Structure 1
Amino acid sequence: MSKTTDARRSRNAEPEHRWPPLIATVFALGLYAALPSIIPAFERYAVVGICLLLLIVLVVYNPHRLTRQSRWSRRIEIGLAFLILIANQVALVETVVRLLNKHGNGSELLLASLQVWVTNVIAFAIVYWVLDRGGAVSRVSVPRSELPLADFRFPQDEDHDAIDEVAKGSSQKSDWMPNYIDYFYFSLSNSMAFSPTDTMPLSHRAKLLMSLESFGGFVLLALVIARAVSLIG
């Protein structure tokens, strides 16, 4: 019997489905590939191609539910997440420069800004999802006492003393664990509110990543509003 199966005897949490993070990753790569950019198409398509190759390897390893993890698969999923994030940060900087210098068609710049912003939300969600508590497989297979320190605190982590219908879904009573949808939601709210909402960062790396996401979203939104006002004028 595998180590993962042995460890899961003490856990009630179900392994996460592959499809939500898979669909989000493919969608983000599609947005990045279609982005109006001064970066040569070959370089952008090369990034997308590498990401798709890494993604295929991970899907073959865990096709339906995320039940297996090895050292090499862990490195691939972290590398894939940060490759998408870094590529989009380059695109974000380029878009900001073009907005500041008013290079290109106004409507094209506004569309590019939206593409970069949406990709940023997805990319940061993937990074949070990959890093927190050792990743998706670790979160449901490793005994809680042996899990790495949490990067984020979710509402369910402190709902055990609420009224019954709320407490039943808490981490303590139901062995609840966050999945990609939870990380996507707080990545989206962090990009829109420029601050944590219901989920709080605990580690330094989580705080730095959320700060970077908030700052990038704020700068992009401010410049898009300024650009839109100038077009109206």
Structure 2
Amino acid sequence: MTEPAAAPTSDDATGAPSGRRRGPVASFLRETAIVLVSALVLSWLVKTFLAQAFFIPSASMHDTLLEGDRVLVNKLAPGPFDVHRGDIVVFADPGGWLDQQAAPRTNVVQDALIAVGLVPQQSEDHLIKRVIGLPGDTVASAGGGSPVTVNDEPLDESAYLAPSVGPSQRAFEAVVPPDSIWVMGDNRPQSADSRAHQGDPGGGAVPIADVVGVAFVTAWPLDRFGMLRNPGEVFEDVPAP
């Protein structure tokens, strides 16, 4: 005789297959955890490869950038894209530029949020300046507020210099080494930039390898939101080195 097929087991009166169903609370928590982890991973990927936020701690870039501003930095330059004269760049301390600056204290939570890119990078080991010279350029000034010249071409920097600030009270002249850039702050009297480090290795120039990226937007506070555009017209008459 043929035995009758076994009746399907069920865990309720409707005949639904056996097994524990996930409750609505558990499902919500699981979906929320997936969203949060995905957001953190995406934020980390963006911070690592595309863009990163930085906090402005000093007055060296007035009035372009003020203390407390947060800027977003394009990490594709240098890299797939080049760094140009006039760009505002964030770079790691080449050595000795920030020895006297106290590092702000952070806790474990802040460190974790910085690591994944949800909080701006503290600037205790980074600087932000404007690129004035590229590899091979001769950058100079006679001092006393006279113009900065690049390859003997005087610059009109009024588009970005702080009001009532001259191009350079300090006299200097330097040839930018290969794979390096010459940087200066927009608030020249308050900026310990390449001019102040000519006695350091590299003669004050910053290795391009130390550049994190090019700042392209002031993101915070909201009343200062705006694009940081390259003033290309300032450098358009500069000849090749």
Which protein has the bigger strand share? 2
TM-score under structure 1 length normalisation: 0.29
Structure number, greater radius of gyration: 2
TM-score under structure 2 length normalisation: 0.29
Which protein has the bigger helix share? 1
